[in-house]
Amino acid sequence: MDSEQRPQPIAIGGQKFAWGRRTYVMGIVNVTPDSFSGDGLAHDVSAAVEQAVRMCREGGDLIDVGGESSRPGFEPISAEEEIRRTVPVIERLVREVDAPLSIDTCKAEVARAALAAGASLVNDVQGFRREPKVAAAAAEFGVPAVAMHNQRGRSASGGRDVIGDIAAGLLESLRVAGEYGLPRERVIVDPGFNFGWTEEQALEMLRRLGELRTLGRPILVGTSRKSTIGAVLGLPVEERLEGTAATVALAVAGGADIVRVHDVKEMARVARMADAVVRGWTKVEARA
Kindly indicate the confidence band of residue 3, based on its pLDDT and cuts at 50, 70 and 90. Answer: very low
Q: What is the pLDDT of residues 15-62, one digit of tens each?
A: 999 999 999 999 999 998 754 444 555 678 999 999 999 999 999 999
Residue 5 lies in a domain: no
Residue 9 lies in a domain: no
Residue 274 lies in a domain: yes
For residue 235, the cross-strand partners are: none
Residue 197 lies in a domain: yes
Please state, for a pLDDT cut of 70, what percent of the chain lies above it.
90
Residue 284 lies in a domain: no
165: containing domain: 21-279
Q: What is the pLDDT of residues 52-86, one digit of tens each?
A: 999 999 999 999 999 997 766 667 899 999 999 99
Residue 226 has pLDDT above 80, yes or no: yes
**Structural domain total, the chain:** 1
| Mean pLDDT of the region 207-236 | 97
**For residue 33, what pLDDT is reported?**
77
Contact present, 222 and 259 (Cβ < 8 Å): yes
CATH number at residue 203: 3.20.20.20
Enumerate the active-site residues. 226, 260
Q: What is the pLDDT of residues 100-157, one digit of tens each?
A: 999 999 999 999 999 999 999 999 999 999 999 999 999 999 999 999 999 987 765 5
**For residue 282, what pLDDT is reported?**
78
Residue 16 lies in a domain: no
**CA-based end-to-end distance of the chain:** 28
Tell me the H-state helices in 97-240. 108-117, 133-141, 162-179, 199-207, 227-233
Residue 34 lies in a domain: yes
> What is the rounded CA–CA span in Å between residue 283 and residue 202?
36
**For residue 36, what pLDDT is reported?**
45
Residue 8 lies in a domain: no
> What is the rounded CA–CA span in Å between residue 287 and residue 154?
44
